[in-house]
Structure 1
Amino acid sequence: MAEQKALLVTGPGDRIVLGTRHIPTPGPKEVLVKVAIAGLNPHDQLVRDLGYFIGNNVPAPIGIDIVGTVHAVGKDVDNFKVGDLVFGNGDPFDGDYMATQEYALMDIDFLGHVPSSITQDEAATLPLNALTMYIALFDASTHGIPSPLTPAGKSFDYKNTPLVILGGGSNCGKFTIQLAKWAGFGTIVAIAGKTKADYLVELGATHIIDRTLTDDQIESEVRKIVGDDLLHVCTAVLAKDQTLGARLLSNSKKGILVPVTKGAVDESKLGDKKAGYEVRGFLCRPHAEDKRELATVFWKSFPDLIEKGILRPTPYEVVKGLDANKINEILDAYGQSKGPTRPNIHVSGA
């Protein structure tokens, strides 16, 4: 069996190493992609250090965002051919679909041609974070707001549905803002740093609240904007404490907080939530049966949303080659909340 180079996790808590693994063969509705760019995100530090997703299925590559060229196609693949430049979502539960290797499998339901309006590096910043926040807003298990891509979205009152985004300046936060603007939300409140305010307004935020304010001050500012009608809050950053997001929800109506990671809520700081509230965690895994339909619908429109400028790429930094030492440094920094601008690994070193 042919082998390839790969950056691998060999066990929870172990350092990333450069090794080899088999080159997989595409099955029905799959393509084999020669990986040009492997995108990393903060959760990859948790994959290395705690074994998130991969568990004992090691050694395993990391990274979910993939850009490359189609090297081989499986059966029942009509819309992709060898040589096509593509981008897509890998699968964190299966090493054959992960990014930090020379060749990876891709499910054609979560794959698109790289739009001509963006570069390969820009394309690598899009799949995971954009789909994550699409699921956060529009899946039945999260906020349950109907997607504009579905029949129910045609009649939903987005204009009178306020949304607050904690971590509005993060990459996930930026995509939440853009998706909310695209859907037509009338009130999009981003809690973020002052230096990002103008850009976030450009993306679609209607209000910016300085994240350096105290929790009491932030809650006061939010209620000045939305009154007691806030039913939807997204936490778009990794956070162990979800208390502030819950505090912001309506006191008289049942609201929903959707964080990208689990965190505790200090009930003693919430005040009187007469109708209660829900915290709905989720995992962005389009390959899962309960997410496949929603994700497939999104991917059919995703390249066009990018081409039209509705969804914009985020900043990135290039890392040349499968450099285990450099990747370990990046993941260490993520673990200390000091991660760099989004790292794009150029797998060939170019």
Structure 2
Amino acid sequence: MLACGTAAAQSDGKKPSAPRPVSKFLPFSEGSIDGFPSVQIDGVLKLTQSGNQITASSLDVCFPSDSLSLRLDRLAIPLQVQGSTLSGLGVSAGGRQVSVTLKRTGQKESLGLEGTVTLPGHTIRIAQSDLVSLNEDPTSSTAQPDGTGEEDPDDGASVTDPSKVLATVKIANLADLIRTVRAEGGRLDPVGLIPQCSTLRSGRATASIEVDPSRSAALLDKVRAVPGVTNAEFGTVLDHALLIRLKAKPNEADVASILSKAAQKAIPGLSTVSSEKDPSRGEVRVAFRRTLPDFAAVGIQEAITLRAFVWQDVRDPSKYYIRLRPLDAKLVDADPKPVLLSGRADTEGEDDSTASDLNTEMAQQAIGNALASELHGEVWADERWVAK
């Protein structure tokens, strides 16, 4: 009995175990740089909590390199916890010394954050209330896989686009990729050179490269050999409405005249002005003019540009494709003393637009049908290939 009583007393006196640490994440995006509001701030504050006590903290934040730049920099550092104040020093992805001082405000249901991120020559102020606490780190979903991001469903309808090479490359090796693309005569989309926050967090960028389909296999091999490239593959045609499928490849010398004939059949009143081929992309361009009856007397015409290229199916060598680029159309002034505005006008902040008399979407479809009819090919309609 005595032994049992002693054991019970020891059990009753046992200290309760410490609460298990729990991590919470506070995303924020409101702030300013050098006094100017910025929409480019993308931050996540991690708080590790044991009971009611914050025991650790870290910050992952992207911010503009300066107030005039769209280029982002990123800082990911641990923070010291002193009550509601969080602070730390670190070096950004761009190599700059950065200091951080933040203060948590509000209560459980209405959390806020305010403070500064200070870098040489610039001060970023953070001020946001009504933050939502998350149980999972939102930055973990931004880590890019080795894929390039284009869907390629195996449904029998997907078409590989050998005029486009997509490459995933480490940010530090972007310059190496540029040198290779330049040496091979490709064209690189500059959008991939301006990193987004997700790019900085993953450490990798996706580059889109256009090239003549006849040289794309060689370019793909060269791109795959670039240091830091973790994946490279051909793109996929996402809009089948711009494709004509053929059973035989048209003579390369005849492509411009075939395009011209189809366009004139589809759009009444067209006259061909010129044609050329872009050797870097294998793209044939045909320029047209069309007289508008209402303005024929004053020299106002419509300029239309049709662009297309031909390639052999990567998977099935018995098939070929003509791909049309989106049709360009605009009103032009043929008079020696032009009266039409060119370029951006003062539209009180509205986006610049190109005036055209042509319904380009319908005209594009008509040209595609005319091309398919001329070459005994097929167009994509009602989710299937249809002969014309």
Q: TM-score, normalised by structure 2?
A: 0.24
Structure having the higher Rg: 2
**TM-score w.r.t. structure 1 length?**
0.26
Q: Give the structure with the higher percent strand.
A: 2
> Which has the larger share of helix?
1
Bigger relative contact order, structure 1 or 2 (CA pairs below 8 A, ≥6 apart): 1
